[in-house]
Amino acid sequence: MIEEFKKYLQYERNLSVHTVENYCRDVAQFFAFVSKPNSKITSNDISAFILHIREQGASATTSNRKLSSLKAYFRFLAKKGKLKHNPAEFVEGAKQEKKLPRPVDVAEIDAAVEKADNLRDKLMIELLYCTGVRRSELVSIKVQDINYQGYIRVFGKGGKERIVPLAPATMDMIAEWLHERKVEGEGDPTYLFPGRKKPQLCAWQVGAIIRKWRGNTAITPHKLRHSFATDLLTNGADLRTIQEFLGHESLATTQRYTAVTMEKKLQDYKKFHPRANRY
């Protein structure tokens, strides 16, 4: 049923390849642990598995993701009539500390772009910061999604489409990259970032590319997305506009960035105001 679940995630839920692989890997890990058929699984089995991986050193974030995968799997089986109820439905996840996203300094981003020795990787870093796209969205950008008036179409979670503007300098980099590819005649022409053996790069490869050029900085694809949002908000952009750019379903998700900018304001106040540290 894992193969059927995989098809369901791909074609009915329309999830990214990276997400589908994670879901299926988590489910397979669970069944390696319990060694029972679907019909014999209980909520106690699922709780025992979650406890086991926590004891093995998994973080609350990781264990909650695996629990979400199991909930989705058993919900799928119930929906297809393979089970009468979902044994994972009432299993609770671990409480997670809500951490504020930490934006990356623009100078560090510029340094990573400068350090990259090829145009593809430079453009990849630039796009992650200048558009705020997720890495799964980045590798899914098709050449036909680029509008040379200055924006791209991005397809996010659930295949939801949004429009994200591009700076002129970023457009120039894209044009240069496409010209370079055309001259060399390499890669599938469909995707902006083609893979060597597949039509497009995999999402995990984006992380590896960023790690290659970030030096001693904390740059990751996700932190570049955070920086995109935080820098827009700091410089006066409307919260709902940022929500649209990021593809957030809920404004509450976007509002996390207001806390980040407030924290920065407090730091600046304490650092620069002559009365800030007076007792």
- Which amino acids are annotated catalytic? 134, 157, 222, 225, 248, 257
Name the H helices within 37-105: 43-55, 60-79
Question: Based on C-alpha coordinates, what's the Rg of the chain?
Answer: 22
Written as six digits, the tokens of 30 are 């669970």
Three-class DSSP category at 122: helix
Phi, psi angle pair for 145, to nearest 5°: -80, -5
The candidate with the shortest Cα–Cα distance to 32, out of 12, 8, 49, is 49
Q: How far apart are CA 182 and CA 199, in angstroms?
A: 15
How is the beta sheet containing 151-155 ordered, strand by strand?
A: 146-147, 151-155, 161-165
Q: How far apart are CA 226 and CA 80, in angstroms?
A: 38
Q: How far apart are CA 91 and CA 2, in angstroms?
A: 21
Q: How far apart are CA 71 and CA 78, in angstroms?
A: 11
Q: How far apart are CA 18 and CA 30, in angstroms?
A: 19
Residue with tokens 């998700």: 253
- Count Cβ atoms below 10 Å from residue 185 Cβ, excluding itself: 7
**Phi and psi based region of residue 236 (left: phi greater than 0; alpha: psi -120 to 50; beta: remaining):** left
